[in-house]
Amino acid sequence: MTEEEKTMHIVHGRVKWFDPGKGFGFIVADEGGADILLHANVLRNYGQNSVADGAGISVNVQMTQRGVQAVEVLSIEPPQGVAFPLGDEAAPASLEEIASLPMEPARVKWFDKAKGFGFANVFGRPEDVFIHIEVLRISGFADLQAGEAICLRIVEGKRGRMAMQVLSWEAATRNGG
């Protein structure tokens, strides 16, 4: 491997697309250039199994014989310009209010992307927490797997507890909760 191939640098961009079934996707760098390969293993090392199309992403990249590849995810931000989907009077009015909610550790019970929702269980609590696909998307995820460890910011809605934000377990612990 040449010195050029060993050199890593940070790139900021947006997720062009990511397919968990195929195990990879691509990032478009803010400064342009060739698409950057994002492999599922690199994303899993960050603590997520999926990422939403259009999500902002910062990665360490490396030039390889096959082109530029992400080798480490540093941060993921939700796609821009998405409206908050749940018209529940209990829902916080702003992203700042959502960010002020406590993070609660949870495990995904099930999530069906085709149905557009799923449920998780918060550790030590018996009731299910509803997760809407748009909440998942604005949190920077494309899908969740049963058994996946996550953190949720939750409100009490008309029909029970609802997730307002989903965070990866590793990202939440890395950011100090």
Q: What is the pLDDT of residues 13-66, one digit of tens each?
A: 999 999 888 989 999 999 988 899 999 999 988 888 888 888 899 999 999 888
| pLDDT on residue 58 | 95
Q: What is the pLDDT of residues 68-109, one digit of tens each?
A: 999 999 988 877 655 555 554 455 556 678 878 899 999 999
CA 176-78-40 angle, 5° bins? 80
**Tokens representing 65?**
């014989």
Tell me whether the CATH fold assigned to 3-77 matches the one assigned to 95-174.
yes
| pLDDT on residue 1 | 46
Question: Who's near 10: CB < 8 A, 6+ residues apart?
Answer: 58, 59, 60, 61, 74
Topology, domain 3-77: OB fold (Dihydrolipoamide Acetyltransferase, E2P) (2.40.50)
CA distances to 36, 69, 143, 160, 170 from 26, in Å: 5, 9, 17, 37, 22
What's the rounded Cα separation, in Å, for the pair 62 and 42?
Answer: 12
* Amino acid identity at 141: F
| pLDDT on residue 24 | 92
What's the rounded Cα separation, in Å, for the pair 44 and 29?
Answer: 20
Which range (38-47, 78-87, 118-127, 163-172) has the least confidence? 78-87
Topology, domain 95-174: OB fold (Dihydrolipoamide Acetyltransferase, E2P) (2.40.50)
Extents of the domains making up the chain: 3-77, 95-174
Higher pLDDT, 146 or 5: 146
What's the rounded Cα separation, in Å, for the pair 156 and 7?
Answer: 48
